[in-house]
Structure 1
Amino acid sequence: MKLRNPSEKCLSDIAKKIESYSIEEKLKIISEIYPERVVFSTSFNIEDQLISHFILNGKIPIKIFTIDTGRIFKETYQVWSDTNKFYNYSISAYYPNTKKLEKFLSEKGPNSFYENVQNRIKCCFLRKVEPLKKALQGNAIWITGLRSEHSIERKNFHFLEWDSNYQLIKYHPLFNWKSDEIMKLIKKYNIPYNRLYNNGYLSIGCAPCTRSVQSGESYRSGRWWWEENSVKKECGLHLKNIRN
C-alpha cells in the first residue's frame, strides 16, 4: 500500500517534531514514526558514511542498503567491506535486472554512455533507478546523503520533502552540512571512508563515469565530465523530487 501524498502540514509537523534534536535523535524519532518503513541508501560517499555511523552506532532500526551497478570502483567495494566489519553489520545490496542490462549492452555496447546523453541516462536508469525502485517498495521514508553543496539544482531541494516519483517522504539529514564538517567527524570517529577522496575525488559513482576534481571545479564536475550542461549531472535518482 502506497503512502498518501502528505500535506504541507504533515511535513511541517514532522520537521517541528525533530528540529531541536541531534541527527541521531532525529533519525530515531523518524524510525519511531514509521516503524520498519524507513530505509537509508548509501553509495559510500563521506556523507553516507557519516549517516551510516549515526544509524549503526546508535543502533537505530533503519535498514541500510546500497545499489551495486556492477561498475563501481574497487575502492568503493573496499569501504563497503570495511563498513560491514567495523559495525558488524551487513548492508543489503540491490542489483540491475540482468536480462534488461544484457539486452542494452548487446545492442549498445559496454561504453555507449560516452556517445550521447540518451545512452548515459538509459544506463543510469537500468543500473540505478530500477534497482532503487525495488529497494524502496513498501517504505514510507527514504533517507539520503543529498546535500545543498552538491549542485545548484540541489540547493532548491529541502531537507524534508515529498517525492512524487517514488511516492514517499525523503529526508536529507546532512542537507546543509559542508564537506569539511563531515570529514572532521569521519576522522574523529575513525569511520571507514573511500580512499579516493585522498586523490581529489569528491562525488564518487561508477568508475567509468567519475574522475577527480581539480581546484576551482564544482563538487559534481567529476561526474559525467564529458557532458557540458551541469543540469545533466544527475543519474535520475533525484530529478523528480518535489516538495509538496
Structure 2
Amino acid sequence: MNEKLVYDTWEKADIPTFPSESDTKGALETLQWAYDHYGDTLVYACSFGIEAIVLLDLISKVKPDAKIVFLDTNLHFKETYETIEKIQERFPKLNIHLQQPALTLEGQAEKHGEELWKTNPNLCCEIRKVIPLRKAVESHEAWITGLRREQSESRKNTNFLNQDHKFKRIKVCPLIHWTWKEVWRYVYKHELPYNKLHDQGYPSIGCAPCTLPTHNMEDLRAGRWSGHQKVECGLHESAPNS
C-alpha cells in the first residue's frame, strides 16, 4: 500500500495511480485511498454546487461522518443555504461546518468601503474565502475539492492528488475526469437534492452579488465576476500540479 503523501516531502514517484476507466472514473478509488491514509485529517471544502452533490454522495459511501466545511461568506444565495439543509437531511451523519470570515459584512464595509465585491473582488474573496479556508485546513493534512479538468483552462492540468502550494496541503480532486453530462447523469440517477439555481441558468454558483446566469456551455464559469478580469476566487492556483 502506498504511504500517504505529505506536502513537505512530496515525491512524484510516491503518487499512487487510480483507474480513470472505473465506474466512477477513479473518484471512489481516490476517496477510499485518501480516507484510508488521512482519516480525520482530511476535510472536504464544499461549495454545494452540482459537483459537490456528487462528491458528497460518494464520500458518504466511504466515510459517512466525514468532515465537510462550507465557506460561509454571508453573501450566498438563499437557495444555497436551502441546499445545505437538504443535504444534511439526506446524509445526517456528515459533519457539516459553516466556516465564517473574521470580518462581518459590516466590519468589512467600515474598513474597506461598501460593496467591496464591486470595487475590489480579489480582496473580498481573500477576506471571505481564502483566509477562512486557510483557517479551516490548518489542522488537516489534506483537503478535497470538486475541480474538474473540463471546467476551465486554468483547471485542465489538475490531478487526482496535487501539491497545493497556496495552503501547503495535499489537495485531493476525485472528479477530474468527469464531464458536465456525467455529473448530472449521476445526480438524476441517484435522485440527489441540488441547488435549484442550476435549473435557472447558473452552472457555477458562488456569492449572490458576483454570480449571474449564463447559457454559455463552452465556459461553465462565465457567470462569475462578470465585468472583472477574474475567473477564480483565489482558492485554486492555475499552475500544473498546484
Name segments (4+ residues, structure 1) moved above 4 Å. Answer: 18-22
Task: Return closer, same or farther for 1:242/1:61 CA change in 2, 3 Å cut-off.
Answer: farther
Q: Which amino acid aligns with 1:15?
A: T
Whether the 8 Å CA contact 2:141–2:170 is kept in 1: the answer is yes
Q: Which amino acid aligns with 1:221?
A: A
**What is the CA-CA distance between 1:122 and the residue it aligns to?**
0.5
Query: How large is the RMSD of aligned CA atoms in angstroms?
Result: 2.2
**What is the CA-CA distance between 1:10 and the residue it aligns to?**
2.1
Whether the 8 Å CA contact 1:164–1:242 is kept in 2: the answer is no
* Separation in 2, partners of 1:40, 1:168: 13
Match of 2:158 in 1: 157
The answer on 1:93 being equivalent to 2:103 is no
What TM-score do you get using the length of structure 2 for normalisation?
0.87
Q: Which amino acid aligns with 1:97?
A: A
Whether the 8 Å CA contact 2:143–2:169 is kept in 1: the answer is yes
**What is the CA-CA distance between 1:93 and the residue it aligns to?**
1.4
Deviations 1:42-81 (A, max 9, x none): 1111111110011114435631111100000000000000
Task: Return closer, same or farther for 1:234/1:48 CA change in 2, 3 Å cut-off.
Answer: same
Whether the 8 Å CA contact 1:161–1:171 is kept in 2: the answer is yes
Match of 1:191 in 2: 192
Mean alpha-carbon deviation: is it higher for 84-93 or for 130-139?
84-93
Gaps of 5+ in 2: 1-5
Match of 2:11 in 1: 7
Deviations 1:85-124 (A, max 9, x none): 111134111110036x544311433323223xxx110000
* Separation in 2, partners of 1:72, 1:172: 24
* Separation in 1, partners of 2:176, 2:56: 15
Task: Return closer, same or farther for 1:126/1:170 CA change in 2, 3 Å cut-off.
Answer: same
Task: Return closer, same or farther for 1:210/1:180 CA change in 2, 3 Å cut-off.
Answer: same
**What is the CA-CA distance between 1:187 and the residue it aligns to?**
1.1
* Identity rate, percent: 34
The answer on 1:71 being equivalent to 2:75 is yes
Whether the 8 Å CA contact 1:163–1:240 is kept in 2: the answer is no
Gaps of 5+ in 1: none
Match of 1:212 in 2: 213
Whether the 8 Å CA contact 2:103–2:127 is kept in 1: the answer is no
**What is the CA-CA distance between 1:125 and the residue it aligns to?**
0.5
Task: Return closer, same or farther for 1:164/1:70 CA change in 2, 3 Å cut-off.
Answer: same
Whether the 8 Å CA contact 1:211–1:223 is kept in 2: the answer is yes
Mean alpha-carbon deviation: is it higher for 58-67 or for 77-86?
58-67
Whether the 8 Å CA contact 1:31–1:60 is kept in 2: the answer is no
How many residues align? The count is 233
* Separation in 2, partners of 1:5, 1:233: 31
* Separation in 1, partners of 2:183, 2:139: 31
Whether the 8 Å CA contact 2:31–2:62 is kept in 1: the answer is no
What TM-score do you get using the length of structure 1 for normalisation?
0.87
